[in-house]
Structure 1
Amino acid sequence: MKFSLKQLAVFDAVANQESVSAAARQLSMTQSAVSMSLSQFENVLDRPLFIRQGNRLTLSHWGRWLRPKAKRLLQDAEHIQMGLHDQRMISGNFSLYASQTAAEHILPKLISQVDSDFPELRISIKVENTEHVIQCLLNHQCDMGIVEGRNDDSRINQKKLIDDHLVVFTNPHHPFANSESVNLAQLEQANWVLREVGSGTRRIFDGAIHGLIDNIKVWKVYESVPVLKSMVENGFYLGCLPYLDVAKEVENGQLVILPTPEFDMKRSLSFVWRKDSGDNPLRDCILAEARRLMINNERVKDEAKVNLLQLSQK
């Protein structure tokens, strides 16, 4: 072997940070040691892996080709180093980026279940909108993501986790709150508070109104779901969010879902990961745990329906 895992790790860190000095801090190495290791690696491969632009380093054609392969080798090395405890324990570090809905309603139970079953598996979490999750995956900043809606990037694998749908909502004091049906003209005249462009929620909403409403009045745009809900709850606005995000407030009477029969806003939450990331036992473990969690949730719902039916027949 003409190159080492250490050189691969240096290459990956520089690719991630786009800076030798930042990569040195990440690896707890001196800047000169990182520069030397990278230079030796390029000499061994006889290919330029980066394009130098001042202090910034961007991947060359060869660097982009090499990076997913280097990632897989480093992941395999980490799995070997961490090992399997008594041949049953999954161990290692795994980064998971998720949209807000998944982060709030799916991840707490999933992480708790994984922590209980696989205490040596460390999952780091970051909340981003769908567009940013996909971009972070493509930039090798995370191992897997959970996004809203459909992804059409050919470089990404997608596996559906759960179905959901978006709803239009307002507060109980809004003039539309008691309407049996809200028509397109009313929706066009209303003031809206919406998620930011780039979020899966906004993409589905924009798709639903396309061809139906020409000029919707977007009053405010927020990345934060709690802020958006609070704005609608305390003002004369309409909002649009996944049902999971407003279910509690609707049940408590703080918000009201408006009937909008002309809107089709079904969507799903899905796991996504790079196609070229290869096999990953940690990813497989999390996917299996998520599937088990969804099955258990459906079983609980079915049991609750049966109990309600039995009570109604007494």
Structure 2
Amino acid sequence: MKYSLKQLAVFDAVASQESVSAAARKLSMTQSAVSMSLSQFENVLDRPLFVRQGNRLLLSHWGRWLRPRAKKLLQDAQQIELGLHDQQSISGQFSICASQTAAEHILPSLISKIDTDFPELRIGLKVENTELVVQGVINHDYEMGVIEGRNDDHRLHQETLLEDHLVVFTNPNHSYARHEKISLAQLEQAKWIQREHGSGTRHIFDAAVQGQIDNIHVWKEYDSVPVIKALVLDGFYLGCLPFLDVIKEVKEGSLVILPTPDLNMKRSLSFVWRKDSGENPLRDCVIAEARRLVNYYKKQMDNSNLS
């Protein structure tokens, strides 16, 4: 071949950092060495891989085409290295992108346990909504994702981790807080603070009300769960979030879950990864450790009388 794995790694680092100097720091190389490697790589391919926009280096058409393929080659090279060394312990870098609920309630405990039990395994974590998690895994930006709800992309394997459900909630001063049952008509009349389109939570809510409620009055949309809870706490709104996201405030009495028997909002938290990524001992380790932790969350939901 006319190019090397090192040149692929340089290309991928510049693509992720959008800067030669930042890529150099990430790779522990000099800036001139990174520039030279990238220039030689572009000369070999006879294609411009980046376009400059101010101080940023953005992927060109060819760069966008190349990056997922380069990521796949680099991941395969890592697996070859692990296999050749026949490692007895799990070690290396593993990147995860997770939706907010998983990132807040599951990933911190998981990463802490892995840090203790597998100190040579480093977990990189990015938090996005479900739509962006899926896209990032497809593009090889992350080795695994944790999403809410269902994924329909045929390129990804999905494996359920935890069954969960969404709840409608408000503050104790809202008039609905005193009702034994909230009708569909009452839900239609209310003002809502909702997650943004593209989030798994919003997708499940929209699917639950489709065909039942003609017009939901969404007052504001936010990608931040704490912001949504804070606004519902202070105003006369309804919100809809995963049960795990509001259980603390409900136990404290600052939020109230409303009985909405006409809405089916069950969902799951799942791992997703590319079907063509092959075997990965680091991924297997992460999934096994997550399954050991998940029993705690199941008991928390099963034993609670709040839902």
- The TM-score with structure 2 as length reference comes to 0.84
Residue 295 of structure 1, CA deviation: 4.6
CA distance in 1 between partners of 2:274 and 2:60 (Å): 20
Are 1:76 and 2:75 matched, yes or no?
no
Q: Structure 1 residue 25: deviation in Å? A: 5.1
Distance 1:27 1:68, change over 3 A: closer
Letter in 2 for 1:58: S
2 CA distance for matches of 1:159 and 1:2? 39
Which residue does the alignment assign to 1:161? 161
Per the alignment, residue 59 of structure 2 pairs with 57
Equivalent residues, number = 300
String of CA shifts for 1:10-54, please: whole Å, max 9, x gaps. 23224435665654454344555445434544565x664737577
* Root mean square deviation of aligned Cα: 3.0
Q: Distance in 1 between matches of 2:247 and 2:48?
A: 50
- Asked if the contact 1:18–1:58 (Cα under 8 Å) also holds between the matched residues in 2, the reply is no
Structure 1 stretches of 4+ with a deviation exceeding 6 A read 299-302
Alignment-mate amino acid for residue 50 of structure 1 = L
Cα pair distance change 1:121/1:210, threshold 3 Å: same
Partner of 1:207: 207
Matched with 1:4 is 4
Structure 1 CA distance, aligned partners of 2:92 and 2:47? 32
Q: 1:275 to 1:20 in 2, by over 3 A?
A: farther
CA distance in 2, matches of 1:63, 1:8: 10
Structure 1: how far apart are the matches of 2:156 and 2:18?
Answer: 23
In structure 2, the gaps of 5 or more residues are none
Task: Tell me how far apart the structure 2 counterparts of residues 300 and 224 of structure 1 sit (CA, whole Å).
Answer: 24
Which amino acid in the other structure matches residue 106 of structure 2?
A: I
CA contact (8 A) 2:169 2:258 kept: yes
Q: 2:224 matched to which residue of 1?
A: 224
Percent identity of paired positions between Structure 1 and Structure 2: 64
CA distance in 1, matches of 2:39, 2:101: 44
Shift of 1:261: 1.6
**What's the CA shift for 1:101?**
0.9
Structure 1 unpaired stretches of 5+:
306-314
Q: Distance in 2 between matches of 1:172 and 1:210?
A: 27
Cα distance in 1, alignment partners of residues 299 and 167 from structure 2: 25
Structure 2 CA distance for partners of 1:204 and 1:62, relative to 1, 3 Å: closer
- After TM superposition, the score normalised by the length of structure 1 is 0.82
Counterpart for residue 16 of structure 1: 16
Match of 2:132 in 1: 132
Which residue type is aligned with residue 139 of structure 1? N
Contact 1:19 1:57 in 2 (8 A): no
Matched-pair contact (CA < 8 Å) for 2:12–2:67: no
